[in-house]
Amino acid sequence: MASLAACGDGLGPDDASTPGNPVDDTMDPAVGALMCKPSGSTTGWAFSRLGVGTKPALAVGDDGTVHAAFIFEDVGSVPRSYPRRSGSRRTHRVRLVAASHAEQRSGRLVRLGHGQCSGTLLTASYDPSGFEGAGVIYGEWNGSDWTIELAAGGSFDYAGGMALVQAGDGSVHVAFFDDVLGEIMLATRTGGEWTVTTVEAGGDALDVGYFPDMVIDPDGSTLHMVYLERATASTGVVRYARGGPGAFEMMDVVEVAGFSGSARDIATLDLDAFGRPVIATQTKSDFTVVRLVDGAVQPIASFSAASGITLGQQTEIEIDAQGRTHIVRWQSGENPGTVCHAVSG
């Protein structure tokens, strides 16, 4: 995950008065915290409501500021995002682009990254509309214009999800699910050229590589990835992979069940101060956080949905400079959903 403070967040000034700003600050924080609190023991965790929306994303600055972006699905709005700071938290409602890719409204189709202290905004998305034959497209924003490239050609289903990171040497990695082959792929750009390699091939499982999330070591040498190996439409195993193009080691992390066929982003990871992966998984009824230590899975926390609430599958994790674990996630309760934030003590 990007450390925003070192490079500047590049998100523009706070502006609560921007016309059409959809950020909702009307709910009492105590009421919002209660709405987002799961059932069972929550000792050591604090919960808060960020607003109404779907498909949250997360970045935490070195100063502890939480930046959360999520989509407010009002079709036909202008392609802008509106920042708002509230205490130590900044939220961004990202309005959907009503342009050539307006049909990409379902799923977290666009992944955002941050250039190495250059202020460059990076995106990766599936293009079902046919950009030079369709496939995975990659974009860089230089402050005034987008440069768009085809990272991997093919006809891919956007529902498989993707992940995006940039290394310190400027190379870019995009992990995505190839629904034709049923396996997870990695597109890598070095020296201006894209190459595509297989992370893990499909086998007896229904599909390997749904909903990837990915981070890179601070020194840029090793990629860390989680994704779903689906056994049926509602069961599977979250897998972890580490390595680089053409050379990954994999292991099972946790079995998951009870997610829908339209699940999104049910697993997410970040690295702690010792370089150990911390992985969060979420189904419709349960939320689990574990740490990998020398190949062993160590439980950290496990929560269940509050009465009448469906947790969903949209979640992202980040560990801040003080070692606290931050999680943003979607749950039912409001239309089209409630975006919640949790932080460990």
pLDDT, tens only, 41-74: 889 999 999 888 877 777 777 777 777 777 765 5
Place of tokens 């938290």: 89
Pick the more confident residue, 38 or 132.
Answer: 38
CA distances from 118 to 6, 10, 165 (A): 11, 10, 15
Q: 32 phi and psi, to 5 degrees? A: -65, -40
Where is average pLDDT lowest: 22-26, 157-161, 169-173, 200-204? 22-26
How is 82-149 classified by DSSP, letter by letter? EEEEETTEEEEEEE---STTTT--SS--EEEEE-SSS--EEEEEEETT-TTSSEEEEEEE-SS-EEEE
Residue type for position 194: W
Q: Does position 21 have pLDDT exceeding 80, yes or no?
A: no
Task: Give the CA radius of gyration of the chain.
Answer: 19
Pick from 147-156, 184-193, 211-220 the range whose average pLDDT is largest.
Answer: 184-193
pLDDT score recorded for residue 263: 59
List, for residues 92-104, the tens digit of each pLDDT value: 444 433 333 333 3
- The listed range with the strongest mean pLDDT (18-27, 122-131, 264-273) is 264-273
The mean pLDDT value of the chain amounts to: 75
Q: What is the pTM of this model?
A: 0.81
Residues 6+ apart with CB under 8 A from 85: 14
How is 151-182 classified by DSSP, letter by letter?
A: EEES---GGG-EEEEE-TTS-EEEEEEETTTT
Q: How confident is the model at residue 261 (pLDDT cuts 50, 70, 90)?
A: low
Beta bridge partners of 85: 90
Helix (H) / strand (E) element for 60: namely strand 54-60
Asked whether 300 and 313 are in contact (CB, 8 A), the reply is no
Give the three-class secondary structure for 4.
helix
Q: Are 223 and 243 in contact (CB under 8 A)?
A: yes
> Looking at residue 104, what is its pLDDT?
33
Give the torsion through C-alpha atoms of 112, 59, 51, 88, to 10 deg: -150
pLDDT at 76 over 60: no
Residue positions counted in the chain? 345
Q: Is 30 helix (H, G, I), strand (E, B) or coil?
A: helix
CA atoms of 201 and 216, how far apart (whole Å): 21
Stretch 174-203: mean pLDDT, rounded? 91
Most confident stretch, 13-22, 76-85, 117-126, 305-314: 305-314
Q: In this predicted model, what pLDDT tens digit does every residue of 114-169 receive, in sequence order? A: 444 344 567 777 765 544 446 888 887 666 777 888 899 887 776 788 888 888 88
